[in-house]
């Protein structure tokens, strides 16, 4: 486990080496004067309305705020239709807010007129249906986000993730040859492999056999803790939320 | 709504029956041969020219005899007349190319033309030996050259075009063209297969580019400087000169026409001809039409409208044709063009003339 | 076996007969020219056919896939306009595009005239030489890519957007996402679309004949009319057919195995494009339209106006009437047979009955020249055997029969899809209420299938209205359709006369595009 941690500290973050973003980060710090340590993720005054819905439709969010500390696991709950998934998609950069800002690690990621594209945010996401690449094996799925790494480092990292999620021996399988629980672990490993600054999980326990659920929730929590990542988990089940997260936010 | 569809379906079936009945008319028309021919003549033609249609219309105006025309590919027309046998509706068969005319003769679908008036109009060289068909017009396959950079003195024979000095300069269309096949067939007839093959090989060696496009395109390529000389049909030079498109006329102006082999066998010509169909129901009208088409006045019209050389020696040539000058033509049995056609196709394949 | 099954079997046999006849020709004497054809033509022609279709299919697959992906993932400026417009080049048959482009790019065409007269280049410098094979590929790609575009677009719409989004969140930029995720995930539809284009190219006669590129299709015709050797033409067609059957089986194999789709696919939220990228995307959209729609139309209209000015516009009533009559009859026949066969396969399913529609679907991949030789070889003996034989061979009936043999697939596809949505319940309910099969179908299902009937009629009609090789090879004497008129005028180098029939054909084709794209926004 210790080795894992070391790797995370020395990893290359995709957003680094991009001067424009560094500059923005500086601006953000200077302007807000807020402690980076305190607010790792900061969502401020967020409003969103689906473009297709038209101006008359009520917004999904209106002036929403959220702060998450580094290393914290936060659960977002709420009845369906309250925009839980939309919140994740906004943080991931898959949607553009109509008002407000999203910052991560001092970098402004989203504002209505400037959205850092998803591939440059350093945000990972586990989708509800896992969204594994059907044409790639477990090994290649996990390695997908490591294309900038050297071959040896990439191989080492993939092996490590496979061990971490206990999928040894299944590297050559295709997603449709795996059980639901195994698929979820591949999805987690794939998301964690490039060491994102923030991991988003969309209803990670909804598609699972109830008997397995308790065990998997513990698994996920242990895994997120093991890599010491910051995570935002969306779930409709308050009980799951309390078990997996450090803190719960209700939408 | 659906009921209406059903009645539509009924109508369609009816239409199908009517349609197939229409085809039937072709064989069960004209039953008994009347002593007095109705004022009609049926022409099966492989020449699809507006000029021909205009002449037919004039004929009707002059004689009151209606000309019914059926257009098709020569091979199809021959095939059809042969199949219909004595029941055929065709009175006259018209096509381009002596070889094809000879095929018609050999299929036995033509009867000799004995009418003196006609035979006087057309010299022997431009008729079948047994007068199974007579010529209507000829075209020459000549060398055209870029007037601005080639002197006619540089040109002499078809064979001279195989000289290495023309390497990369010769333009000609593909060997699928009947004109090229007949040209080569004429060489087989005159000089034998070996000579013809080495000639074809020599031309291939001098290609300015792999054969593509039509005769007109070869001349446009000369205008563009792709090559200097091309083998084309005089008819197409004329078409360029009278095109609706001023740019094409411009191309035509740049072309010089040279008649090769003047000191030897003469320039290759191709003949359009007309044959009287065996079993024709309107033979008298048909002969009248042949006599009309070969008469000096009509030949002049045809020459003018279609840039073809008249077969009737009394007819004046169109001005442009006259401007290119008189020439000596190959004299050979047109039957040979048909006889050696397939040999020619094979030689083209062997030497790689696409 | 009930009588409906027997009837469907009869129809299948009837329309598969030309192919069976051709294959049986492999055991017949080969024709005197066969040895020559076999050594000199077959290898070269097969090679030409293969590389033309392979290059065109690859390029069309690339263009179609890129456009489908842009349409799916990005908010390209004027997106709503592009969607329908990108399919419009399908309205222009390649044989029309062939003579249009040959003129357009030729010495007296607009491009070279512009270079010479406006730019002032000397003729040598202004001369664009595009070798005919290259121009052929360019035209095939430009006018056939919409098949790939439509097939891939449909596939992408059924895929889970989350997979694409995952790729982005894992750091893959647009290019990597496209090549590593989109293309592999859509590879079956891309290959299916590419194969469709390949079949179209293999089957093309008009363009190859116009450009004088010897292919298997033109070779068959050449053997038939150039060497007067029908047995050799049949043998060549049979060899071609065998190759095609292999290709058809490959296609079936590829399109059969589909990846599981997510049940409720969420459409990808389109990314907005700005600045250079928007301009680039716009360019990628504009180019196929300029070359595939605008230039051909402008050129044809110019031809037509030149014909008007010269007073040489010929009346087209006869070919128009022939085209309408034949294509409407053909479409009705196709729809009727397709309905029969698909209904039998659905209601009396056995391994045999379900093979009937499959056979008819496969026929679509068989080139017109091959069908024509098969039909002719099959039907010609009728004339010597029976006194009424001419009623088939010398009338449009033979052409009509060939139309059905070749284009039944259009109807079968439409009727089968509609039948599958309908299921068996209405039919079964009617039968349980005591209706015999005919009545159960006519009263229970037919009214519900009405939109499919119309759709099948229309699609088949449009296909037949522009059909060239069958009409060219099997039409009775002095019987022209619009397509043969346009093609023959173009072959006689009378392009301005070819304009009017071409414009009508393109108009009909545009109708088909509008029909296909209706409600698909």
User: Mind listing the domains of chain B with CATH numbers?
Assistant: 37-138+270-320 (3.40.190.10), 139-268+327-351 (3.40.190.10)
Nearest of B80, B68, B72 to residue B43 by alpha carbon: B68
**In this predicted structure, what is the pLDDT of residue C502?**
94
Window C:187-246, CB contacts with B under 8 Å: 211-212, 214, 222, 225-228
Question: Does B12 have pLDDT greater than 60?
Answer: no
Q: Shortest Cα distance from C65 to chain B (angstroms)? A: 33
C-alpha dihedral over C470, C473, C476, C479, to 10 degrees? 80
3-class secondary structure per residue, chain B: CHHHHHHHHHHHHHHHHHHHHHHHHHHHCCCCCCCCCCCEEEEEECCCCHHHHHHHHHHHHHHCCEEEEEECCHHHHHHHHHHHHHHCCCCEEEEECHHHHHHHHHCCCEECCCCHHHHHHCCHHHECCCCCEEEEEEEEEEEEEECCCCCHHHCCCCHHHHCHHHCCCEECCCCCCHHHHHHHHHHHHHHCHHHHHHHHHHHHHHECCCCCCCHHHHHHHHHCCCCCEEEEEHHHHHHHHCCCCHHHHHHHHCEEEECCCCCCCCECEEEEEEEEECCCCCHHHHHHHHHHHHCHHHHHHHHHHHCCEECCCCCCCCHHHHHHCCCCECCCCHHHHHHCHHHHHHHHHHHCCC
Nearest to C222 among B23, B176, B223 (CB): B176
User: C96 — phi, psi (to 5°)?
Assistant: -75, -45
**In this predicted structure, what is the pLDDT of residue B276?**
92
The answer to which of A69-78, B334-343, C121-130 has the lowest mean pLDDT is C121-130
Q: From the CA atom positions of chain B, what is the Rg in Å?
A: 23
ipTM value for the complex: 0.79
**In this predicted structure, what is the pLDDT of residue B17?**
43
Query: Directed axis angle between helix C495-517 and helix C446-465, to 10°?
Result: 160
SS3 A133: coil
SS3 C428: helix
Question: Does B188 have pLDDT greater than 90?
Answer: yes
Nearest of B303, B73, B93 to residue C491 by alpha carbon: B73
How many domains does the structure of chain A reveal? 1
| B with A: touching (≥3 Cβ pairs within 8 Å) | no
Are residues B221 and C492, on separate chains, in Cβ contact within 8 Å? no
Q: Share the mean pLDDT of chain B.
A: 84
Regarding beta strands C271-272 and B229-233, do their DSSP bridges make them parallel or antiparallel, or are they unpaired?
unpaired
**Residues whose CB falls within 8 Å of the CB of residue C517, separated by 6 or more in sequence, listed in order:** C83, C84, C87
Question: Does A19 have pLDDT greater than 50?
Answer: no
Q: Which residues of C touch A15 (CB under 8 A)?
A: none
Give dist(CA B70, CA B61) in Å, integer. Answer: 19
- Residue A188 CB neighbours (<10 A): 26
- C314 burial (CB, 10 Å; 0-12 / 13-18 / 19+) is middle
- Residue B253 CB neighbours (<10 A): 11
Which fold would CATH assign to domain C43-229+279-305? Answer: MetI-like fold (1.10.3720)
pLDDT bracket for residue A14 (50, 70, 90): very low
pLDDT digits (tens, 9 = 90+) for B77-113: 887 788 777 777 889 999 988 888 988 888 888 999 8
Q: Shortest Cα distance from C50 to chain A (angstroms)? A: 29
C-beta separation of C140 from C197 below 8 A = yes
- A225 burial (CB, 10 Å; 0-12 / 13-18 / 19+) is middle
C-beta separation of B300 from B315 below 8 A = yes
pLDDT digits (tens, 9 = 90+) for A213-231: 888 888 888 888 888 889 9
Query: Directed axis angle between helix B215-223 and helix B234-241, to 10°?
Result: 60
C183 contacts chain A (CB < 8 A): no
Give dist(CA C498, CA C307) in Å, integer. Answer: 9
**In this predicted structure, what is the pLDDT of residue A4?**
34
C171 contacts chain A (CB < 8 A): yes
C-beta separation of C504 from C312 below 8 A = no
C212 contacts chain A (CB < 8 A): no
**In this predicted structure, what is the pLDDT of residue B226?**
87
Nearest of B329, B326, B303 to residue B316 by alpha carbon: B303
Domain of residue A79: give its range: 2-250
- C-alpha atoms less than 13 angstroms from C-alpha of B323 in its C-beta half-sphere: 13
One pLDDT digit (tens) per residue for chain C, 521 residues: 688 889 999 999 999 999 888 888 888 887 778 888 888 788 889 999 999 999 999 999 999 999 999 988 888 877 777 877 888 898 899 999 999 998 898 888 888 888 888 888 887 777 777 888 999 999 999 999 999 998 898 888 888 888 888 998 998 888 899 999 999 988 888 998 999 899 999 989 999 988 888 899 988 888 887 777 788 888 888 889 888 888 888 877 877 665 555 555 667 777 777 788 888 888 888 999 999 999 999 999 999 998 888 777 777 888 899 999 999 999 999 999 999 999 999 888 888 888 898 888 888 888 988 999 899 888 888 877 777 777 777 788 999 999 999 999 989 988 988 888 888 888 888 888 888 888 888 888 888 888 889 888 888 888 898 899 999 888 877 788 999 989 988 887 788 889 999 999 999 888 878 877 775 54
**In this predicted structure, what is the pLDDT of residue C261?**
54
C-beta separation of C29 from C227 below 8 A = no
Regarding beta strands A41-48 and A99-104, do their DSSP bridges make them parallel or antiparallel, or are they unpaired?
antiparallel
User: A163 — phi, psi (to 5°)?
Assistant: -65, -45
Give dist(CA C126, CA C115) in Å, integer. Answer: 6
**Residue of chain B with shortest Cα separation from C488:** B48
Q: Taking the domains of chain C in order of start, what are their residue ranges? A: 43-229+279-305
Tokens for A84, please give them.
């839980």
Window C:121-180, CB contacts with B under 8 Å: 122-124, 126-127, 129, 131-132
Q: What is the CATH number of the domain that holds A123?
A: 3.40.50.300
**In this predicted structure, what is the pLDDT of residue B11?**
44
Alpha-carbon C254 to chain mean position = 20
**In this predicted structure, what is the pLDDT of residue B3?**
44
Q: Which residues of B touch C447 (CB under 8 A)?
A: 2
Question: Does B20 have pLDDT greater than 60?
Answer: no
Give dist(CA C98, CA C117) in Å, integer. Answer: 25
pLDDT bracket for residue A52 (50, 70, 90): low
Query: Which residue shows structure tokens 């088409």?
Result: B293
Give dist(CA A194, CA C515) in Å, integer. Answer: 48
B/e letters for C376-393, b = 16+ CB within 10 Å, e = fewer, are bbbbbeebeeeeeebbbb
pLDDT digits (tens, 9 = 90+) for B201-212: 999 999 998 888
pLDDT digits (tens, 9 = 90+) for A21-44: 333 333 333 334 344 457 899 999
Tokens for A136, please give them.
């790639």
Q: Which residues of B touch C325 (CB under 8 A)?
A: 15, 19
Average pLDDT of span B50-71: 88
Q: Which residues of A touch C167 (CB under 8 A)?
A: 133, 144
| Residue to substitute from C39, C474, C493, C499, interface B, most B β-carbons within 10 A | C493
Give dist(CA C105, CA C113) in Å, integer. Answer: 9
Are residues C170 and A190, on separate chains, in Cβ contact within 8 Å? yes
Nearest of C21, C32, C34 to residue C382 by alpha carbon: C21
C-beta separation of B321 from B303 below 8 A = yes
| Residue to substitute from C114, C212, C403, interface B, most B β-carbons within 10 A | C212
C-beta separation of C74 from C271 below 8 A = yes
Average pLDDT of span B240-248: 84
């Amino acid at each position: 486990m210790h080795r894992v941690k070391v790797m995370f500290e020395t990893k290359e973050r995709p957003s680094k080496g991009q001067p424009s973003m560094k500059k923005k980060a500086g601006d953000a710090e200077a302007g807000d004067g807020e402690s980076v340590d305190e607010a790792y993720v900061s969502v401020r005054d967020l409003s969103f309305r689906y473009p297709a819905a038209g101006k008359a439709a009520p917004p999904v969010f209106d002036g929403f705020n959220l702060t998450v500390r580094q290393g914290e696991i936060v659960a977002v709950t709420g009845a369906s239709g309250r925009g839980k998934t939309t919140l994740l998609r906004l943080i991931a950069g898959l949607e553009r807010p109509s008002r407000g800002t999203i910052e991560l690690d001092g970098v402004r990621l989203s504002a209505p007129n400037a959205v850092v594209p998803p591939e440059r945010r350093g945000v990972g996401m586990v989708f509800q249906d896992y969204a594994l690449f059907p044409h790639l094996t477990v090994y290649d799925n996990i390695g997908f986000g490591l294309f900038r790494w050297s071959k040896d480092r990439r191989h080492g990292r993939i092996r490590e993730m496979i061990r971490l999620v206990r999928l040894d021996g299944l590297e050559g399988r295709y997603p449709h040859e795996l059980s639901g629980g195994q698929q979820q672990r591949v999805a987690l490993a794939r998301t964690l492999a490039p060491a994102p600054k923030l991991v988003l999980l969309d209803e990670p326990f909804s598609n699972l056999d109830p008997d397995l659920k308790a065990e998997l929730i513990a698994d996920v929590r242990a895994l997120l803790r093991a890599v010491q990542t910051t995570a935002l988990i969306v779930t409709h089940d308050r009980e799951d939320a309390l078990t997996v997260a450090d803190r719960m936010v209700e939408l | 709504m659906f009921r209406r569809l059903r009645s539509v379906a009924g109508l369609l079936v009816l239409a199908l029956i009517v349609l197939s009945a229409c085809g039937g008319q072709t064989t069960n028309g004209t039953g008994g041969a009347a002593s007095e021919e109705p004022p009609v003549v049926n022409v099966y033609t492989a020449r699809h020219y507006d000029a021909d249609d205009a002449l037919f219309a004039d004929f009707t105006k002059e004689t009151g005899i209606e000309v019914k025309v059926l257009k098709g590919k020569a091979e199809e027309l021959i095939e059809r007349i042969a199949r219909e046998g004595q029941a055929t509706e065709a009175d006259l068969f018209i096509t381009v190319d002596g070889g094809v005319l000879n095929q018609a003769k050999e299929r036995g679908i033509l009867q000799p033309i004995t009418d003196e008036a006609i035979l006087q109009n057309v010299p022997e060289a431009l008729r079948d030996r047994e007068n199974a068909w007579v010529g209507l017009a000829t075209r020459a396959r000549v060398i055209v050259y870029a007037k601005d950079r080639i002197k006619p003195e540089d040109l002499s024979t078809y064979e001279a075009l195989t000289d290495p000095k023309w390497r990369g300069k010769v333009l000609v269309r593909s060997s699928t063209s009947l004109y090229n096949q007949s040209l080569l067939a004429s060489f087989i007839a005159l000089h034998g297969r070996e000579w013809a093959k080495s000639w074809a090989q020599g031309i291939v060696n001098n290609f300015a580019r792999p054969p593509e496009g039509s005769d007109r395109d070869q001349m446009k390529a000369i205008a563009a400087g792709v090559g200097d000389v091309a083998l084309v049909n005089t008819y197409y030079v004329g078409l360029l000169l009278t095109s609706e498109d001023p740019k094409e006329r411009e191309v035509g102006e740049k072309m010089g026409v040279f008649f090769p082999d003047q000191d030897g066998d003469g320039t290759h010509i191709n003949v359009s001809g007309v044959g009287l169909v065996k079993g024709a129901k309107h033979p008298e009208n048909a002969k009248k039409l042949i006599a009309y088409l070969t008469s000096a006045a009509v030949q002049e019209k045809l020459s003018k409208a279609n840039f073809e050389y008249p077969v009737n020696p009394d007819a004046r040539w169109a001005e442009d044709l006259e401007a290119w000058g008189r020439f000596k033509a190959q004299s050979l049995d047109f039957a040979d063009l048909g006889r050696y056609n397939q040999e020619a196709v094979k030689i083209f394949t062997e030497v790689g003339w696409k | 076996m009930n009588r409906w099954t027997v009837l469907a079997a009869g129809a299948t046999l009837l329309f598969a007969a030309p192919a069976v006849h051709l294959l049986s020709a492999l055991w017949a004497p080969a024709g005197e020219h066969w040895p020559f054809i076999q050594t000199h033509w077959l290898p070269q022609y097969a090679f030409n056919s293969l590389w033309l279709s392979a290059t065109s299919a690859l390029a069309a697959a690339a263009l179609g896939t890129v456009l489908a992906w842009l349409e799916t993932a990005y908010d390209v400026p004027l997106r709503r306009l592009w969607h329908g417009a990108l399919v419009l080049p399908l309205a222009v048959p390649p044989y029309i595009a062939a003579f249009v482009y040959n003129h357009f790019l030729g010495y007296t065409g607009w491009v070279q005239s512009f270079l010479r007269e406006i730019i002032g280049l000397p003729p040598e410098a202004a001369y664009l030489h595009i070798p005919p094979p290259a121009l052929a590929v360019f035209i095939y790609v430009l006018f056939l890519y919409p098949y790939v575009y439509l097939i891939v677009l449909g596939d992408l719409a059924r895929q889970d957007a989350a997979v694409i989004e995952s790729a982005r969140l894992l750091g893959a930029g647009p290019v990597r996402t496209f090549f590593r995720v989109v293309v592999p995930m859509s590879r079956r539809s891309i290959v299916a679309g590419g194969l469709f284009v390949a079949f179209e190219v293999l089957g093309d006669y008009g363009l190859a004949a116009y450009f004088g590129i010897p292919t298997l299709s033109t070779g068959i015709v050449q053997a038939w009319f150039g060497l007067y050797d029908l047995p050799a033409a049949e043998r060549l067609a049979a060899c071609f057919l065998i190759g095609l059957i292999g290709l058809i089986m490959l296609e079936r194999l590829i399109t059969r195995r589909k990846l599981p789709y997510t049940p409720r696919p969420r459409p990808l939220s389109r990314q907005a494009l700005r600045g250079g990228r928007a301009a680039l995307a716009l360019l990628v959209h504009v180019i196929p339209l300029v070359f595939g729609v605008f230039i051909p139309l402008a050129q044809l209209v110019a031809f037509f106006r030149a014909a008007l000015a010269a007073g040489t516009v010929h009346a087209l009533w006869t070919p128009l009437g022939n085209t309408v009559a034949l294509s409407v009859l053909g479409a009705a026949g196709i729809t009727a047979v397709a309905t029969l066969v698909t209904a039998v396969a659905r209601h009396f399913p056995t391994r045999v009955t379900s093979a009937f529609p499959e056979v008819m679907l496969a026929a679509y991949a068989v080139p017109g020249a091959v069908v024509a030789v098969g039909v002719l070889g099959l039907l010609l003996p009728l004339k010597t055997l029976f006194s009424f034989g001419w009623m088939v061979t010398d009338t449009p009936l033979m052409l009509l029969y060939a139309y059905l043999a070749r284009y039944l697939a259009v109807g079968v596809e439409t009727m089968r899809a509609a039948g599958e949505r309908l299921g068996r319940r209405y039919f079964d309910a009617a039968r349980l209420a005591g209706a015999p099969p005919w009545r159960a179908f006519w009263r229970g299902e037919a009214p519900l299938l009405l939109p499919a009937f119309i759709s099948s009629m229309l699609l088949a009609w449009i296909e037949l209205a522009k059909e060239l090789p069958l009409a060219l090879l099997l039409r009775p004497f002095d019987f022209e359709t619009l397509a043969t008129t346009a093609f023959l005028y173009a072959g006689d180098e009378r392009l301005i006369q070819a304009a009017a029939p071409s414009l009508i054909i393109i108009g009909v084709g545009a109708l088909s595009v509008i029909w296909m794209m209706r409600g698909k926004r």
